[in-house]
Amino acid sequence: MTFLDSAVWGGKFCSDGWRHSPARQPVTEPATGDRLGTVGVATAEDVDRAAARAAETQRAWAATSPQRRAAVLRRAGELFTEHAAEIEDWLVREAGSVRSKAGFETGLAIGECFECAALPAHPQGEVLTSEDARWSLARRRPAGVVGVIAPFNFPLVLGLRSVAPALALGNAVLLKPDPRTAVSGGVVIARIFEEAGLPAGVLHLLPGDGAVGRAVVEAPEVRVVSFTGSTPVGRAIGERAGRLLKRAHLELGGNNALVVLPGADVARAASAGAFGSYLHQGQICMTTGRHIVHESLVDEYTAALAAKADALRVGDPAREDVALGPLIDRGQLERVHCIVTDSVAAGAKLAAGGEIDGAGYRATVLTGLTTDMPAWREEIFGPVAPVVSFSTTEEAARIVNDCEYGLSVGILGDVGTAMRLADRIDSGKVHINEQTVSDEPNAPFGGVKASGTGSRFGGPAANVEAFTETQWLTVRPDIADYPF
């Protein structure tokens, strides 16, 4: 039996053990439409039971020694390493990842577990001064039960980056993966922590649709909701959590800009731009969605980018050596094509691509855009690179900031000019002489404006802030005297 053998999870969800479900959904390969298996679907009632059980087990888990919690996280990292090949196969077949992206994502998961293994040993508060004759402490305590709702595009790491720190800090977790990636974004995580020695009932895997997600948010035991996904859904979750007086950590969409400064190496810049726009078919919140190129380089850059786009093969990454795999489903494929064709109808010009290719989409370059065209204003979530020009750094800053999102920006060229430009940009992340797609387990991750509620992932400071509460604790040598 393999580590992810369907005999363990087929037709089931995980809540205090693997449970058969009368409701089931197919696990589908987007490149072919083939069925890879079947997972059990949870109901709102299942969520309620899981939340109650998680609240029971969380107290014992929080009371477990920091060394024991750290050992579980380290073992999880070791298991990801041992089973990397099998996990990568699932990311390729279920999520449509090309092989290099699947390896990158699995590597991030390994790093996340080892990084979070250090969290239990980090300082959990501070000593405060007090005007009275007492000790005064601010200590961090686990939030309790954390609800994690994860997307399809990087399904493993975008769920794990909340699950791992939440568990390390003593919380219980309800995990709802995207239905389209319930194995690579759900079953994998549940199996890893099961084998790593996490006590039963601390982590619950609850696949399902929006009704299951709403139940996770609304369960009274859930005190923190961590959501990664689209801005419209994130707004709805934030509103619901706000009414329930719960914290919601929202990592949402992006329409990220790559600025190419005068004098930049065009060949290297086009390579960076192609990677930023076409990695994982552009289905990344950090994807380079806007190429803003100095007028002295724009023609040369566009030609170089188009040449790279034309050279990228589209196909089935499980069976071919391709640069671009399928989009996650037919609906997303048609949406991308509609954005491109609507923009062309409005006057944009195709320099490359613009065609559906089986279950995928050709790497596309668009020029001649105006700021009201959908390919410029919207988060496309497909392999499309719109290009416009600028003449001054002031204009570049204005174009970058003229966007509802603020997640990631790349600036290519002279470092001094880039530094001055970076100071004028509204973005959660800025990368000088790199493209927009970058992530490390120890680095803060998050956006501003419609991209979310800031950095609530990555590194000890963000993780402790995200998944613990502050309690003020005072201690006196004797009972105080009071005037009553």
Residues designated catalytic: 251, 285
**435's tokens:** 């493209």
Position of tokens 């691509």? 353
Name the DSSP class of 249: E
Can you tell me which residue has the tokens 């393999």? Answer: 2
Three-state secondary structure of 326-351: CCCCHHHHHHHHHHHHHHHHCCCEEE
**Are the C-beta atoms of residues 181 and 14 closer than 8 Å to each other?**
no
Among 273, 325, 241, 279, residue whose Cα is nearest residue 439: 279
Instruction: Report the run of H or E that residue 248 belongs to, with start and end.
Output: strand 247-251
* Dist. CA 18–CA 204, nearest whole Å: 10
Please give the full DSSP string across 72-125, using - where no structure is assigned: HHHHHHHHHHHTHHHHHHHHHHHH---HHHHHHHHHHHHHHHHHHHTGGGS--E
Question: How many CB atoms within 10 Å of residue 472?
Answer: 10
Q: State how far the alpha carbon of 195 is from the alpha carbons of 83, 118, 367, in Å.
A: 12, 20, 51
CA atoms of 237 and 239, how far apart (whole Å) = 5
Q: What one-character-per-residue DSSP string does 366-396 give?
A: EES--TTSHHHHS---SSEEEEEEESSHHHH
- Tokens for 332? 């997303």
Q: How many CB atoms lie within 10 A of CB 67?
A: 9
- Return all residues near 63 (Cβ < 8 A) that are at least 6 apart: none
Q: Is 45 exposed, middle or buried (0-12, 13-18, 19+ CB in 10 A)?
A: exposed
Residue 30, both tokens:
């987007």
